[in-house]
Amino acid sequence: MRYNASHVTGAHGYKHTWTRAAAVLAAILSAQISTGQPPHGPGIDWNYGSIAEGYTSAFAGGSVEAAYRMFSAPDFAEVCAQAGADAVKSLRAVRHVDGRVGEPLPYTALKVDALDLHGVVVPRVPIGIESEMRSTVLDTRQDHIGGTSVTPQQSGTVRLRIRTLCDAPGGEVFVTVRVVR
């Protein structure tokens, strides 16, 4: 029997094509190299999906400013530089937000501060807001999250991951949304 390195059958009987995996890996690595340096902050967590992007609070304990899409790729490096994102070492947030089924939950309900090494607020740092992928508590279909809020569709709890987006140390924080009828 000859060994074919391009196909291997996994534990569940699926065939994996090594050449496809190599192409995906090459694309990921070239994307990181093209920015000049790999991201230092929290990266992608495949358990969460993007629902909004925006800015941390402008002052301690303030609300975020967020919507479905707020940044364009060509301008993003300048946005990060103006925000002082290099100084951010962590995020701080109010850990729980309450919502009601069928009532839009504005992203301004999220209180997230970006902090430097000394715990001083760094205002308006670019962030991504992500929801647990397998949860059905929030209506996260792309055609339903185009504004400045997300609508709970059933009672329960769901975790949001809020992370910095710039190529800087950054941080992430988790907020639990509790939804009732």
Q: Which residue has the higher pLDDT, 101 or 169?
A: 101
* pLDDT at 109 > cutoff 90: yes
Decide if 164 contacts 42 (C-beta within 8 A): yes
The mean per-residue pLDDT over the stretch 48-65 comes to 97
Residues 67-78 have pLDDT tens digits of 998 999 999 999
pLDDT value of position 145: 79
Decide if 149 contacts 105 (C-beta within 8 A): yes
Closest CA to 125 of 175, 59, 73, 75: 59
Burial class (CB in 10 A: 0-12, 13-18, 19+), 159: middle
Closest CA to 53 of 175, 178, 168, 162: 162
Decide if 121 contacts 90 (C-beta within 8 A): no
SS3 156: strand
Q: How many CB atoms lie within 10 A of CB 68?
A: 19
This prediction's pTM: 0.78
Token match 């839009």: residue? 104
CA distance 131 to 50: 7
Burial class (CB in 10 A: 0-12, 13-18, 19+), 57: buried
pLDDT value of position 116: 97
Mean pLDDT of the chain: 83
Residues 6-49 have pLDDT tens digits of 344 444 444 444 444 444 444 444 444 334 444 567 889 999 99
Residues 156-169 have pLDDT tens digits of 999 999 999 999 98
The tokens describing 21, both together, are 């995996």
CA distance 173 to 164: 9
* pLDDT at 112 > cutoff 80: yes
CATH label, 42-180, candidates 3.40.50.300, 1.10.579.10, 2.60.40.1080, 3.30.1490.190: 2.60.40.1080
Residues 138-162 have pLDDT tens digits of 999 878 777 899 999 999 999 999 9
Domain range list for the chain:
1-34, 42-180
pLDDT value of position 40: 61
